[in-house]
Amino acid sequence: MLQFSTPAILIRRTEYGDYDLIVTFFSLTLGKVSLMAKAAKKSTRRFAGLLELFTELDIVGSIGRKSGLPVLQEATLRHPHPEIREAATKTAYASYWSELVNDWMEDRVESAELFLLLRHVLDALAGSGPPEAALSVLFQMRLLRISGHSPNLTRCVVCRLDLDSIRPEALGIEIAQGGIACPGCLPSTAEPHRLSKGTIKQLLWVAGGDLARAARIKFSPRALRESQEFLESFVPYHLGRQPRSLRVLRQLRGEPALS
């Protein structure tokens, strides 16, 4: 039997039978990993209060000789983040980020950068950090880069003219082709998303470089609105579906559902 241990953040939990849970973590050393937590619902002492969504733990798991999920043997609390679960909007944002990680990342593909990003936004969400929407912009832009799906925001996706050579201040977005487009290159059937050059430069800033520096950026109300509308259309399109948690988030914000 092979054992492993790693810091991990709980991003999904599913009931399995009368007593067990299947828990999915995004971990520092293993990436996304699902484990069986035996008797987690039955026992008041085994994993009591630990297996809550968005909690950061040190976990110990074991992989048996037969096929099947690894088994969660031990869990030690690091950061419980109860403030997130006590507020509906915070829960919706954290659920959206967790769903993106779960759906976009392959099993057992290590990404320390993504683990540290998820830890950062959850810690900030639980505390008195930046606005929730700004954290979401930061998370989505960096997740897109880490997963190899960054939008092309430096030049027109059709004619390849670079950003500074495009004359209009507000540029259209060609979601299907993955980036900005000149007015003459934007199809008449394109969604009416617009990004100002100032917003684009802020998005490029938060997508790369040092995480701590990127997280300190302050968005203007216009830049935050444009970024949020753009990313919450771009991400579902390239994911191939609209995340259920995003529909809930938009309802909580009083916005119409996306088609």
pLDDT digits (tens, 9 = 90+) for 223-256: 999 999 999 999 999 999 999 999 999 999 998 7
**Averaged over 55-70, what is the pLDDT?**
87
| Predicted pLDDT at 227 | 96
In angstroms, the first-to-last Cα distance of the chain is 48
| Predicted pLDDT at 31 | 96
| Predicted pLDDT at 48 | 79
Q: Write out the two tokens for 15.
A: 């009931």
| Predicted pLDDT at 259 | 54
| Predicted pLDDT at 44 | 65
Enumerate the domain spans of the chain: 1-80, 82-259
Question: How far apart, in whole angstroms, are the C-alpha atoms of residue 15 and residue 40?
Answer: 10
Amino acid type, 232: E
Task: Could you please state the CATH topology (level 3) that the domain comprising 1-80 is classified under.
Answer: OB fold (Dihydrolipoamide Acetyltransferase, E2P) (2.40.50)
Q: How far is CA 22 from CA 17, 70, 71, 85, 98, in A?
A: 10, 10, 9, 20, 15
Taking all residues of the chain, what is their mean pLDDT, rounded to a whole number?
91
- Going by pLDDT thresholds of 50, 70 and 90, the confidence category of residue 2 is confident
- Going by pLDDT thresholds of 50, 70 and 90, the confidence category of residue 47 is confident
- How much is the pTM? 0.93
Question: How far apart, in whole angstroms, are the C-alpha atoms of residue 30 and residue 166?
Answer: 43
User: Does position 105 have pLDDT exceeding 70, yes or no?
Assistant: yes
| Predicted pLDDT at 191 | 61
Task: Could you please state the CATH topology (level 3) that the domain comprising 82-259 is classified under.
Answer: de novo design (two linked rop proteins) (1.20.1440)
Torsion sign over Cα 139, 129, 123, 20: negative
Q: What confidence tens digit (pLDDT) does each residue in 110-158 have?
A: 999 999 999 999 999 999 878 999 999 999 999 999 999 999 999 999 9
State what percent of residues in the chain have pLDDT above 70.
95
Looking from the CA of 197 toward its CB, the CA atoms found within 13 Å total 11
User: Does position 29 have pLDDT exceeding 90, yes or no?
Assistant: yes
**Averaged over 189-195, what is the pLDDT?**
73
Question: With contact defined as beta carbons under 8 Å apart, do 38 and 19 qualify?
Answer: yes
At CA 226, angle to CA 223 and CA 230, rounded to 5?
135
**Averaged over 31-49, what is the pLDDT?**
85
